Amino acid sequence: QRLKRVTKAETTCGFCAVGCRFDLYGKDGEVLGTRPADPDATPANGYSTCVKGKFGYDFANSDERLETPLIRRKDAPDGPAGPDGFREASWDEALSRVVEELRETRETHGRDSLAVFSSSKATNEENFLMQKFARQVLGTKNVDNCTRLCHSSTVAALKQTMGYGAMSNRIKDVGNADCYLITGSNTTESHPVLATKLKQNVRDGADLFVFEPRRIELAEHADQFTRTAGGHDIAWINGMIRHIIENDLHDEAFIEERTKGFEDVREKVQSFTPEKVEELTDVSPEELANAAETIAEADSCVFGWAMGISQHTYGTQTVLALADLALVTGHVGKPNAGVSPFRGQNNVQGGGGDMGTIPDNLPGYQDITDDDVLDQFEDAWGVRPPDEPGLRVTEVFDEVDEGNVRGMYVIGENPAISEPDVTNARESLAELDFLVVQDIFVTETAEYADVILPAATFTEKYGTVTNTERRVQLVHPAVDPPGSARADWKILQELARRMGFDWQYDSPTDIMDEVNELTPIYGGITHERLEEKGDGLQWPCPDEDHPGTPYLYEDEFNFEDGKARFVPADLGDPTELPNEEFPIALTSGRVLYHWHTGQLTRRSEGLMGHVGESYAEIHPQTAGQIGVADGEYVEVESKRGSIVVRAKVTERTAPGKIFIPMHFAEGAVNELTQEELDPVSRIPDYKLASVRVSSM
Ligand code: SF4
């Protein structure tokens, strides 16, 4: 029964990880709209939301919502099944089929022939159950999350240097910093409300340095916009560190008292002379010196970055360099300063790592090889979790090709659009013996499924999500799920029971109780407290008397000796550069009006009205060479595939480079991107590919 009256639910936006709070209104099963909530209970956004928060909810009302389970017809073609390729099924039939296939795959090919891909669109409670389902019920070590594709390099580098793979400060403080270094982040479009705070503070006098290959909107507000060549960001960051040390601008007391390994970094950066930096990056010695000196002398500096930094084969090294810069200037562990990876989906911090949906950590970043940790989980679950790291999602598809992974359970993700060199990923999906997809639409990935299970979306759920500043906030339902669709946790529980595990959760609160018990950084983050507080709690919050942690590392870094580690960053080489055959450098990214693979925003009329199709930003000079005018179609080819998109002729992008958004199935940029992975985090390089562009 759908709710039959107007309901108001205080909730958290379902798009980006700024985590804006608003009231969501619903009636008769339809979401009616959003309104800013009490500003005291909305620390990330106050009264603001961006266009997605205001208008981007109508996907939830779409006629295309899945309302009943679907099973692939026996006569459906191999690969994508098409609109007639599925038949409706009862929950009982669909779940029986899933259980039977998962069991058979496991019995025939072993536990690790199964892989689970979980979603940062689902709540913390649901992600906790996803990894529990993988490790306890299926017994597989292969569980991963979409964070692999966006900030896994960030997490790897920050864990090495500071101890937690997370933003150290809070969004409120981003609005109060003395100075900003923003790089690899189109903040205005990807994290709009956060960018508004930042720009307000810049108008009030804070210094803003933007280092980017594209002339993004934030550049218009910068004291210094430096158009970098792209591909060698480590060089200018190490060059800045060198300049700071050479000019005695480093924070000696901080380095002495709170860090280890400074001499290694001092030695490493010696070779990054201003001349070398300029040659590699187009950053002039004057720009380098000006930014380095202002940052070092500022009372507080926020180092903000996103996927322009993290999504490279040397992403981990670049974030190490940024962490070194933050440490050398002492801008960590104090108010209004810190390392600020601007993360992606609304629950990417919680679902993407905190809840253990990653192959090397149990919930709370507890090491999967630690016997004491494993003992605790075994006591709680009656089953010892696998004690070695599993496959990262970017490795799973290769293992499918090798015949080592035979079954996959994909929850809320769309690898048929989001994987790099997506043609390969689609072939792998088609090769699987069994694929179950749990989602709210028949996504491009679901087209390959054997069984599709209809799930609920954020407008229909109760639970928690954790935004980019580690703030755990509640979501409340404004409407019921359509038809017989169910919340992910209910589907997982039913499957677990059918596979012989007596899960007894009456509500997400029961799941959170287990999270509190097994996850020390969430030990004191109970639903009861969150309902009382309204404005959420930032982890670590180890017990119910703890107030949460607005900024990390105030007293010590997260290592036994409390000291941060300088780790010298090696200059990585781009794995693909423009050449005679493919002379143009392609980068991909986001636009304000869309979100990820576009499953939600492409179904929102208001948002599609602004940007309704894929396109390529091309510099006028390059457009002239190709012979294409603004608005005409071009073919873009890499050695992996080709797409046709409309040309948008603009000076935002540099000559010889093009930009294509990531959100569209028609003109999908990942038909062109490369599969090379960062050796540490296994994140793909979505930001550099060589292409040729021709007029049509
Ligand atoms: Fe939603 Fe992000 Fe926009 Fe806030 S800034 S309304 S969280 S998309």
120-164 pLDDT, tens digit per residue, is 999 999 999 999 999 999 999 999 998 888 888 999 999 999 999
Measured distance CA(499)–CA(360) in Å, rounded: 25
Residue 684 DSSP class: B
**pLDDT score of 539:** 96
Question: What is the percent of the chain with per-residue pLDDT over 90, rounded to a whole number?
Answer: 81
In short, whether 15's Cβ falls inside 6 Å of ligand 1 is yes
Does 193 contact ligand 1 (Cβ within 6 A)?
yes
Run of H or E residues at 160 = helix 152-161
Q: What is the mean pLDDT of residues 185-189?
A: 95
Q: Is the pLDDT of residue 292 over 80?
A: yes
Q: How far apart are CA 442 and CA 416, in angstroms?
A: 12
Q: How confident is the model at residue 326 (pLDDT cuts 50, 70, 90)?
A: very high
Would the CB of 192 count as within 6 Å of ligand 1? yes
Stretch 295-315: mean pLDDT? 94
Question: From CA 428, how far away is CA 87, in angstroms rounded?
Answer: 23
The stretch 341-356 carries a mean pLDDT of 89
C-alpha 599 to ligand 1 mean position (Å):
17
Tokens 């598809």 appear where?
Answer: 397
- 197 ligand 1 Cβ < 6 A: no
* Nearest Cα residue to atom 2 of ligand 1: 16
pTM of the full structure = 0.94
Give the model's confidence band at 71: pLDDT under 50 very low, under 70 low, under 90 confident, else very high.
very high
pLDDT at 1: 45
Which atom of ligand 1 sits closest to the CA of residue 16? 2
CA separation (Å) from 389 to 277, 356, 363, 676? 38, 12, 14, 21
Ligand 1 atom nearest to 194, measured from its CA:
5
Dump the DSSP string for 340-361: EE---BTTTTIIIIIT--BTTE
Q: Is the CB of 44 under 6 A from ligand 1?
A: no
The region of weakest confidence among 3-7, 410-414, 543-547 is 3-7
Nearest CA to ligand 1 atom 6: 53
Distances (CA, A) of 85 to 331, 450, 613, 665: 56, 10, 26, 19
Distance, in Å, from the CA atom of 6 to the CA atom of 477, rounded to the nearest integer, reads: 12
Q: Determine which residue's CA is closest to atom 4 belonging to ligand 1.
A: 20
- What is the tens place of the pLDDT at every residue in 601-635? 888 888 888 888 999 999 999 999 999 999 999 99
- Looking from the CA of residue 53, the nearest atom of ligand 1 is 6
* Ligand 1 lined by 72 (C-beta under 6 Å): no
| DSSP H/E element including 276 | helix 274-281
With beta carbons less than 8 A apart as the criterion, state whether 446 and 473 touch.
Answer: no
pLDDT over 70 percentage in the chain: 99
* Ligand 1 atom closest to Cα of residue 595: 8
Centre of ligand 1 from the C-alpha of residue 44, in Å = 10
- CA 664 – ligand 1 centroid, Å: 20
CA of 130 to the centre of ligand 1 (A): 26
Q: Is 18 in the pocket of ligand 1 (CB under 6 A)?
A: yes
The upper half-sphere exposure of residue 528, i.e. CA atoms within 13 Å in the direction of its Cβ, equals 7
Q: Is the CB of 50 under 6 A from ligand 1?
A: yes
Closest ligand 1 atom number to CA of residue 18:
7
Average pLDDT over residues 453-477: 96
How far is ligand 1, taken at its centre, from the CA of residue 696, in Å?
37
Tens of pLDDT, residues 202-217: 999 999 999 999 999 9
Closest CA to 664 of 639, 684, 688, 646: 646
Looking from the CA of residue 54, the nearest atom of ligand 1 is: 6
Query: How many whole angstroms from 126 Cα to the centroid of ligand 1?
Result: 22
What's the CA-to-centroid distance between 51 and ligand 1, angstroms?
Answer: 8
Q: How far is the CA of 426 from the centre of ligand 1 (A)?
A: 31
Say how far residue 189 (Cα) sits from the centre of its chain.
15
Pocket test for ligand 1, best of 12, 18, 197 (most atoms within 8 A of CB): 18
Q: Which atom of ligand 1 is nearest to the CA of 15?
A: 8
465 ligand 1 Cβ < 6 A? no
For the segment 382-399, the average pLDDT, to the nearest whole number, is 94
Our answer on whether the CB atom of 13 is closer than 6 Å to any ligand 1 atom is yes
Domains and CATH numbers, the chain: 70-147+346-457+486-501 (3.40.50.740), 152-341 (3.40.228.10), 584-695 (2.40.40.20)
Say if ligand 1 is within 6 A of residue 411 CB. Answer: no
Q: Quote the pLDDT of residue 23.
A: 92
Instruction: Kindly state if the Cβ of 24 falls inside 6 Å of ligand 1.
Output: no
Task: Using the atom order of ligand 1, give the atom closest to the CA of residue 22.
Answer: 6
Query: 464 CA to middle of ligand 1, Å?
Result: 16
Residue 345 has pLDDT above 90, yes or no: no
Contact 24, 11 (CB under 8 A): yes
Residue 2 has pLDDT above 60, yes or no: no
Q: Tell me the CA–centroid distance for residue 45 and ligand 1, in Å.
A: 8
Query: Residue 207 Cα, ligand 1 centroid: separation in angstroms?
Result: 24
**What average pLDDT does the structure give for the chain?**
94
Pocket test for ligand 1, best of 191, 342, 468, 600 (most atoms within 8 A of CB): 191
Contact yes or no for 249/263 (Cβ under 8 A): no
**Cα–chain-centroid distance for residue 510?**
27
Burial track 363-385 (b if 16+ CB lie within 10 A, e otherwise): bbbbebeeeebbeebeeebeeeb
37 lines ligand 1 (CB under 6 A): no
Question: Is the pLDDT at 57 greater than 60, yes or no?
Answer: yes
Q: What is the mean pLDDT of residues 24-36?
A: 90
- pLDDT score recorded for residue 77: 86
Cβ of residue 16 lying under 6 Å from some atom of ligand 1: yes
Structure tokens at 659: 């930009």
What is the 3-state secondary structure of 378-439?
HHHHCCCCCCCCCCCHHHHHHHHHCCCCCEEEEECCCHHHHCCCHHHHHHHHHHCCEEEEEE
Question: For a substitution probing ligand 1, which of 35, 49, 347, 607 has the most ligand atoms within 8 Å of its CB?
Answer: 49
Asked whether the beta carbons of 287 and 167 are under 8 A apart, the reply is no
Nearest atom within ligand 1 for CA of residue 19: 7
Q: What is the pLDDT of residue 414?
A: 92
Centre of ligand 1 to C-alpha 91, Å, is 34
Q: What is the ipTM of this complex?
A: 0.99
Which atom of ligand 1 lies closest to the CA of 193? 5
User: pLDDT-derived band of residue 4, with 50, 70 and 90 as boundaries?
Assistant: low
User: In angstroms, how far is the first alpha carbon of the chain from the final one?
Assistant: 52
Contact 49 CB / ligand 1 (< 6 Å):
yes
Encode pLDDT of 578-601 as tens digits. 999 999 999 999 888 888 888 888
Give me 4's structure tokens: 């039959």
Rounded distance from Cα 677 to ligand 1 centre (Å): 29
Q: How close is the Cα of 454 to the center of ligand 1, in Å?
A: 25
**Is the pLDDT assigned to residue 3 strictly greater than 80?**
no
